[in-house]
Structure 1
Amino acid sequence: MLRARFSRDEIAAAALRIVDESGLGALSMRSLASTLGTGPMTMYNYVADKEGLEELVVAAVVADIAVPDPTDDWRHDVHAVATTMWRGVRAHPAAIPLVLTRRMASATGFAIADALVEALVRAGLEDRDRLSAFHAVLSLVTGAAQAELAGPLTGGASEAAARIGAVAGGAFPHIEALSKVAMQTPVTDDFDGGLRMLIDGIAARAH
């Protein structure tokens, strides 16, 4: 017997499961209906089109990210929230292209972004500086995740760095030298180092 009703969270979780297990190309109204044990036309009662389906996947990724408990140190909290975001996005590598290109159509997942803004409020930044800091942190999180699509998530950071160094060769010595450093640096340390530099810069603008 076909199920007649599903919650939005159930549909989003099922869509994300398809992407995790089979990749973005496997996501469709038909595959989602099959996963939920219903007919394809039923899905149109919940999702208008493929774009809406992809937005649900993004919402499901973000909804899985737990908000860290705040402390009395805004720098610590920015670091904790950004790191949690990064780990949450990395947990679903096949969905990263959607996270980078789709905006959520609802407030699902706003809690983690709000926690980041709240920590930046405590930094004492001017309004425009706070906005710039918010976007800078988000850009680092998403940019680092995007970079991994051609690196650690598809063969290892050292392998990607070795390929870049080999292509650069002696013609581009600075890239070749940096690639050797990258080969010895875990991706977690690389992200953490960049994040701490960014937070230091934000702190320099704080009052």
Structure 2
Amino acid sequence: MKKLNELENLLGYQFKNPDHLRLALTHSSYANELRDRKAEYNERLEFLGDSVLGVIISEYVYKKNPDFKEGELTKTRSKIVCEATLAEVASEIELGEYMLFGKGEALTGGRTRRSILADAFEALIAALYLDGGFEVVRPIIFDLMAEKIDLVERGLIVDDYKTHLQEIVQMKKDNRIKYELLEEKGPDHRKLFRTAVKINAAVIGIGEGRSKKESEQEAAKMALRSGKIEAL
């Protein structure tokens, strides 16, 4: 209950039915370890939360961009409501630390796995909706996702950060971009790579990831958001 209360305080909302929140935080691995076929976990809530997020963000994008065609509206929404963005928001509120996992999943990094965090965030949104309706969940969504929505609107959340950075760098002919692996650590099944991206000799972003490619994408993302490119 103490952990649930901590999360409620973070969200600024106290659940009328705490079971909604408990279910949102229950991973399938935990339910499976109970050896009870009737044990529930958050998969159904993920489905509902995806729809709730879709409706609220679609309405926002539609009203905010009266000149956008259908394709532009869809593209903007998909950048806001995507696995990477939702996982980042979940990570920022340390959602994984509040979740119930089976021992195996907890030991192999389930609390920080992107797909699990994104799904859990959707489940949390569904729990808020079931407990309090759109009036409760809408302001919480915009409170938690305000920074990500702003980044999308400024063009700083893209599908491929490396390509986007390359396009910007190439606008100045003398600039050269290079990715440099700084560190590789951890056992084979849980490697962590740390990479720097440089423009000429200047480091403009550093990123980490479970693969070299992921760490390079993260470095490019940090570079795009750092504001250092404009100074080159």
Structure with more helix by fraction: 1
Instruction: Report the TM-score when normalising by structure 2.
Output: 0.29
Instruction: Report the TM-score when normalising by structure 1.
Output: 0.32
Structure with more strand by fraction: 2
